[in-house]
Amino acid sequence: MVAFTLNGQPVSVEAAEDEALLHVLRGALGLSGPRYGCGAEQCGACAVLVDGAPAYACAIAASSVAGRSVTTVEGLGSPDAPHPLQTALLAEQAGQCGFCLSGIIVAASALLAREPDPDDAAIRAALDPHLCRCGSHNRIIRAVQRAAAEMRA
Amino acid sequence: MSDLDRRAAPPGKLPGNLATNPRLDRWLAFDAAGHVVVTPGKVELGQGILTALAQIVAEELDVAMARVRLQAAATPDSPNEGVTSGSLSVQDSGMALRHVSAAARAIHLQVAAQRSGVPVEALRIEDGAFLAPDGRAIGSYWAQADAALLACEAPVDARPKPPRERRIAGTSAARIDLPDKVFGAPRFVHDLRLPGMLHARVVRPPARQARLVDLREGALPEGVVIARDGSFLAVVAGSEHDAERVAERLAARASWQATDTLPDPGALADWLRAAPGDHAVIAERDEAAGEATRTIRATFFRPYVTHASVGTSCAVARWQNGTLEVWSHTQGVYNLRADLAKALRMTDEAILVRHMEGAGCYGHNGADDVALDAALAARAVPGRPVRLLWSRAEELGWGPVSSAMVVEIEAGLDAAGNIATWREEVISHGHSSRPGRDPNPTLLAVEYMDPPRRIPNAINPPLASGGGAQRNAIPAYRIPRMTIGLKRIAEMPLRCSALRGLGAPVNVLAIESVMEDLAAMTGEDALDFRLRHLDDPRGRDVLALAAEMCGWRGRAKREGFGLGLAYARYKHTGAYCAVAAEIEALDRVVCRRLWIAADVGEVINPDGVVNQYEGGAIHGVSMALKEQVAFDRRTVTSTRWEDYPILRFSEVPTVETRLIPRPEEKPLGAGEASLAPAVAAIANAIHDALGIRPRAMPFTPDTLASA
């Protein structure tokens, strides 16, 4: 059994010693936001926050988050109470297939938490570990800037 | 407006895919709760097509978009619209739905008029309610939701609204699928969870041609099932974790007899030239022309490239009472059903295929293959749904690739500086192995099942259908004497199929590079030289607009930077696009800015078109600068992102896109128009910066050093 805080709620779940956090989140815990893209920390589709810092859920064992706090895109906001980044992504229509967005939103939220007014280069650097194949990068960057402005206001 | 004012439809046949699926109720229904239920045969590939279709329907019916419910395509009830491909969805499905909606509107108004006694021409519609001239509601689609009203064939004379009266089609409506995606809601086939669902993974052979000769016995965790058919090997387990771990163990227990079948990767261009194939002359022109006094020859090359979708291919399958159900991100539910039936030796009727979204799709990727993989895995556990997910290595290594190509051009100028002659030879595999079109199935696993079946050689569709390798091979410019040849290679060591643009990226690169060199020989500006040889006014307009956007006329040479232009009309019948690219030559080439001028005829959703043009162009930057499939004599070796890099956030250029509005023209499709001109514009920008002519993709320091 691994016990941790998931999106603000305590959870306790059966997991093999080396079972990836991603599989536990998508499996027993029933989430769909964190996504499998590569299983090797190379695309960012699975990104979650562990104690506020971005982490690759595909490559860390669920057992390693025992007692810690995990936040996924579902925990950042919901249609009723969206995170400013989610609102901004919709306002900018910043996505095509959207498969990469969960991880990008998570990474961008960590960026804005430590740097409320990032410039273009800082946003690109923070999102560089994240692959988007549809070519929505520029819209996503604009959405992060819009969310940053919203959060500073 | 009254319905009698409507513009008469052109006489003759039904538009788009309505011609082959003429019944109205196959496309559209109303329900009493106030919804329009639309059942297109086209599917969402991540490019927003469902939103555009909803806009078209809402427009013609005069209902709010929120009332339109789009049902994902599924056999056997959706209209068979073939494959969602070729940037044809607005033309094929959108124009069908526009006609269907206009017909449904007319039928409903007629009924309302008869029932109320108010003349039909006096009725108007407000969000689905039928209003008399005094504002009294006398009915609605919802009150008349009786399905029998639409149980008929579409009349040929339905009259859609004239362009000037459109209020929803032509606006940037928000994507209907995007909210789910920013909140992480289940939307993709990957997210499907059915009661009792199991998880499966495939154990791939070490070579394209390989036979599983031994699988050593060994312990398996409880509940794990092996699904084997000849040399196809998969594991089914209760969790993803178990499926992955057991697949690794099985791989270590499997012995394969493998054969070298792939060409020498170091001499791919030579292999393409020497390989046997069938040859055709696809265009020939012999008009009066001046004698060519100066000629140039050049050869262009692109290696194999692949889809590299961020999500991997996935399907869920379940066998129950002799029926196979499959949930798939296929581009064509009927085509997939046909090939599943052939592969599994079943009837079409015994298979149900339901579409669910996958990660971004840019052509024929592993979506169909994984559906057969899932079906084979699920056959080992009857009654249980099985979700099979490809690994990243499978996605990059086992999906169909886009053909490597060689394009050779010899072009000549007459004494007056006009293009007089043009000889071109395109060497390529076929560009389509899509399922559902050949008597033999084209799904990956059939080559490993017992008995193994050879996947048929990929085809090049005829030019009238857009072509394959020869797509955009014929220059759009005025050239009096030309011969364009095409060799399709007879064998296919790596399975090739359709990827965004098909042959166009290499053909447009070749043509637009040669155009620049010809311009240089005349001493003329490359834009002027193009405009002087281009008769199509819409083509001239996008070229002039892109040049204006990038400041072409007033440009100043900057050390280390280059500016390049390119133009193409996709498939010669589709959307127009001109791209200007600015590159910076550092230790490698970086694309800094793109300016895109676009003309897609009627625009259903301007923001969606801009998004597609920009995304396609960024795909082009990635293909131009980074992408190539690596392989050895047995199999693909670029199976991790670090071996098959695509463009990242830090490398993406800023992009400015402008649309030339043509509301009276036919819609032309936006998804693929910008990729090829982006590739060619980058090549021309590199030439501008460095004075060398890039002829081999990708334009890396290595290939540029040998240019």
pLDDT digits (tens, 9 = 90+) for B321-376: 999 999 999 999 999 999 999 999 999 999 999 999 999 999 999 999 999 999 99
Which residue among A78, A131, A137 places its CB closest to the CB of B641? A131
Q: How far does A34 lie from chain B, in Å, by closest CA?
A: 7
* Contact criterion met (CB < 8 Å) for A102 and B191: no
DSSP B288: -
Q: Indicate where chain B has its CATH 3.30.365.10 domain(s).
A: 3-171, 189-259+307-398, 275-304+401-431+467-705
In chain B, which residue's Cα lies nearest the Cα of A91? B174
Q: What is the CA radius of gyration of chain B?
A: 27
20-59 of B, contacting A, C-beta below 8 A: 45-48
Closest CA to A78 of A69, A62, A65, A90: A90
**Are residue A72 and residue A127 in the same domain, yes or no?**
no
**Are residue A20 and residue A68 in the same domain, yes or no?**
yes
Residue B341's pLDDT is: 98
**Buried-state track B208-234, b at ≥16 Cβ within 10 A, e below 16:** bbbebeeeeeeeeeeebbebbbebbbb
* Contact criterion met (CB < 8 Å) for A98 and B182: yes
Instruction: Give the integer Cα–Cα distance in Å for B683 and B691.
Output: 11
Instruction: Give the integer Cα–Cα distance in Å for B375 and B325.
Output: 8
Q: How confident is the model at residue B8 (pLDDT cuts 50, 70, 90)?
A: very low
Final residue in a domain of this structure, among A29, A48, A76: A76
| B6: pLDDT strictly greater than 50 | no
Q: Does B611 touch chain A (CB under 8 A)?
A: yes
Final residue in a domain of this structure, among A76, A107, A139: A76
644-663 of B, contacting A, C-beta below 8 A: 646, 648-650, 652, 654-655
* B37-40: Cβ within 8 A, 24+ apart: B37/B69, B37/B71, B38/B68, B38/B69, B38/B70, B38/B71, B38/B97, B39/B70, B39/B71, B39/B73, B39/B77, B39/B78, B39/B79, B40/B70, B40/B73, B40/B78, B40/B79, B40/B81, B40/B93, B40/B97
Q: Dump pLDDT digits (tens) for B210-235.
A: 999 999 999 999 999 999 999 999 99
Residue B1's pLDDT is: 34
Instruction: Give the integer Cα–Cα distance in Å for B506 and B395.
Output: 24
**Are residue A55 and residue A33 in the same domain, yes or no?**
yes
Q: How confident is the model at residue B5 (pLDDT cuts 50, 70, 90)?
A: very low
**Are residue A39 and residue A56 in the same domain, yes or no?**
yes
Architecture of the domain spanning B189-259+307-398: 2-Layer Sandwich (3.30)
| B566: pLDDT strictly greater than 90 | yes
In chain A, which residue's Cα lies nearest the Cα of B239? A27
Instruction: Give the integer Cα–Cα distance in Å for B702 and B707.
Output: 9
**Are residue A71 and residue A88 in the same domain, yes or no?**
no
The length of chain B is 707
Closest CA to B638 of B361, B369, B303: B303
**Buried-state track B608-635, b at ≥16 Cβ within 10 A, e below 16:** bbbbbbbbbbbbbbbbbbbbbbebeebb
Residue B699's pLDDT is: 98
Residue B87's pLDDT is: 83
Alpha helices for A79-127 (secondary structure H)? 84-91, 101-114, 120-127
Supply A149's token pair.
Answer: 């402005």
CA diameter of chain A: 45
Distance in angstroms between the alpha carbons of the first and the last residue of chain A: 43
For an interface test with B, give the residue of A19, A93, A101 to mutate (most B CBs within 10 A): A93
In chain A, which residue's Cα lies nearest the Cα of B655? A138
Supply B694's token pair.
Answer: 């890039």
Q: Dump pLDDT digits (tens) for A78-111.
A: 999 999 999 999 999 999 999 999 999 999 999 9
**Are residue A146 and residue A110 in the same domain, yes or no?**
yes
Question: What is the bridge-based pairing of β-strands B198-202 and B386-389?
Answer: parallel
Closest CA to B571 of B705, B484, B433, B462: B462
Instruction: Give the integer Cα–Cα distance in Å for B28 and B101.
Output: 8
Percent with pLDDT over 70 in chain A: 100
Q: Dump pLDDT digits (tens) for B90-139.
A: 999 999 999 999 999 999 999 999 999 999 999 999 999 999 999 999 99
Instruction: Give the integer Cα–Cα distance in Å for B634 and B261.
Output: 6
Closest CA to B246 of B358, B377, B396: B377
Instruction: Give the integer Cα–Cα distance in Å for B447 and B232.
Output: 9
Residue B186's pLDDT is: 98
pTM over 0.95: yes
Supply B99's token pair.
Answer: 């006609």
Chain A / chain B CB contacts < 8 angstroms: 173
**Are residue A91 and residue A54 in the same domain, yes or no?**
no
Helices and strands (DSSP H and E) totals, chain A: 6, 5
Q: Dump pLDDT digits (tens) for A45-89.
A: 999 999 999 999 999 999 999 999 999 999 999 999 999 999 999
Instruction: Give the integer Cα–Cα distance in Å for B433 and B426.
Output: 19
Instruction: Give the integer Cα–Cα distance in Å for B310 and B458.
Output: 25
Q: Dump pLDDT digits (tens) for B384-406.
A: 999 999 999 999 999 999 999 99
Supply B330's token pair.
Answer: 């296929």
Instruction: Give the integer Cα–Cα distance in Å for B647 and B628.
Output: 13
Q: How confident is the model at residue B668 (pLDDT cuts 50, 70, 90)?
A: very high
**Are residue A71 and residue A109 in the same domain, yes or no?**
no
**Are residue A58 and residue A33 in the same domain, yes or no?**
yes
* Contact criterion met (CB < 8 Å) for B46 and A134: yes
Instruction: Give the integer Cα–Cα distance in Å for B124 and B101.
Output: 15
**Are residue A63 and residue A90 in the same domain, yes or no?**
no
SS3 state at B58: helix
Q: How many domains does chain A have?
A: 2
* Contact criterion met (CB < 8 Å) for B611 and A93: yes
> CB–CB of B388/B190 below 8 Å?
no
Say which residues have a Cβ less than 8 Å from residue A30's Cβ, sequence separation at least 6.
B193
Residue B707's pLDDT is: 83
CA diameter of chain B: 83
CA distances from B701 to B586, B589, B625, B688 (A): 10, 8, 10, 16
Q: Which residues of B touch A74 (CB under 8 A)?
A: 183-184
- Residue B70, beta-bridge partner list: B38
Architecture of the domain spanning B275-304+401-431+467-705: 2-Layer Sandwich (3.30)
**Are residue A47 and residue A91 in the same domain, yes or no?**
no
CATH of the domain at A121: 1.10.150.120
Final residue in a domain of this structure, among A76, A102, A125: A76
* Contact criterion met (CB < 8 Å) for B360 and A27: no
CA distances from B395 to A22, B140, B263, B582 (A): 19, 49, 21, 32
Q: Strands of B137-140's sheet, edge to edge?
A: B124-126, B129-131, B137-140
Architecture of the domain spanning B3-171: 2-Layer Sandwich (3.30)
What average pLDDT does the segment B418-426 reach?
A: 98
Query: What's the angle, vertex CA B369, arms to CA B367 and CA B372, rounded to 5?
Result: 115
Which residue among A16, A98, A124 places its CB closest to the CB of B241? A16
Closest CA to A39 of B352, B310, B550: B310
DSSP A61: B
Domain of residue A28, residue span: 2-76
**Are residue A6 and residue A68 in the same domain, yes or no?**
yes
Q: Categorise residue B435: left if φ over 0, alpha if ψ from -120 to 50, beta otherwise.
A: beta
Instruction: Give the integer Cα–Cα distance in Å for B101 and B168.
Output: 14
